[in-house]
Chains A and B, each alone.
Chain A
């Protein structure tokens, strides 16, 4: 009856009554598929895994998606069959078989299997590491980073960037200062919350060297969306060389840059190892010039960006604790930025 009536509409108007809706849906679907395609291969894509854990999660995603699609098509196909293709009464026995089989037994088996399979992956995501531990602490809105070398050497302090050796599993210990954050580098692995007052453990086993983007994944205040970080995966031997260099003290050149740093009281918040400045309020700047990004993953590490940041951090990252230094002349800002860039 329904079918016939719809056909009548079609003949009268020359188009289905919900044609506009269909178009919108088609465009929306195409848009969603394009957005999905755009994710593929990006530096922050869970669908372009560069590590064992992310590959496992991507596999789970695809299997679940395909299973859901099959279920959706089967259910709607069945629905179309009984209402459009074969709209006749069916026997009670067949109806009960459909309800019990399709409504209870099949979902139980399918969902039970998928749940079991998905749960089995969880311990792998926290498998013990091969020796190196990286401690990451969430601040508003930046990251404290500390490397505890496999050989038991002293911790190496850094900030706003995580470097990991490829082909090895690294333990990650997560904590937070004041509010909850969440540590997530989609291309390398799953996400885990960082909770004040406790240490959450996870581990990452990157396989492909490269630079990937991480993002705080738990709302943590005004500039939550601007709390990112780069994860740089290096071949194991390069990583060892980098960590040795990172562990070394800075050798900042004397001159107007150092004088400005001292005069403006930057050392009251920031540490530069090897100097008298050892404060731990803000990010460690010992090798700041060697990092791939500035202000926790949101600016390129360039002289101009650094000068702009020092002049007015609040304009770039609203709510940032660091005061602005807009009383410095453009030349002074450039001098200070150039000096900081030399801390590699």
Chain B
């Protein structure tokens, strides 16, 4: 019984780490769907609308969404980087089945996912930056 309680406590402590792992890819996924959906609907309904001078509104909106998404991913990435070296002892390896190594491993995984998500968001934004027209 005591062992189960101990396990439960250990996993509860990592709840925030699991959120940290999930947030960056989720932001990427939401940004992806929103960008493609926005471009498709906007171009079908209001292709002539502009913002910031004569730039197509959908391009401005997608780029704005990218800045917000990269901000969130960057913040998560920074937190994950800190978690990877939780005790700030310059130890970036985590091979043991200890609480500390598990915590640092989850930080490592979250950091790598944040990097991947940032690359994904940038790749999704490139067409909006470089392809200027709806047609």
Q: Which residues of A contact B (CB under 8 A)?
A: 104, 108, 112, 115-116, 119-120, 122-123, 126, 201
Contacts and interface: CB of A to CB of B under 8 A. Distances in A.
Nearest to A202: B135
B133 A119 contact: no
A17 B122 CA distance: 48
A200 B15 CA distance: 50
Contact of B133 (A104, A115, A120, A123): A123
Contacts, number: 22
B119 A116 contact: no
Contact of A108 (B119, B133, B135): B119
A123 B132 CA distance: 7
B130 A120 contact: yes
Chief secondary structure at chain B's binding surface: helix
A104 B132 CA distance: 30
Nearest to A116: B126
Contacts of B135: 126, 201
Contact of B130 (A104, A108, A112, A116): A116
A112 B115 CA distance: 14
Contact of B123 (A115, A120, A122, A201): A115
Contacts of A119: 126-127, 130-131
Contacts of B123: 112, 115
A126 B130 contact: no
Closest 10 CB pairs of A and B: A119-B130, A201-B135, A120-B130, A122-B131, A123-B132, A119-B126, A123-B131, A119-B127, A116-B126, A115-B126
B119 A122 contact: no
Contacts of A120: 130
22 contacts: A104-B115, A108-B119, A112-B122, A112-B123, A115-B123, A115-B126, A116-B126, A116-B130, A119-B126, A119-B127, A119-B130, A119-B131, A120-B130, A122-B130, A122-B131, A123-B130, A123-B131, A123-B132, A123-B133, A126-B133, A126-B135, A201-B135
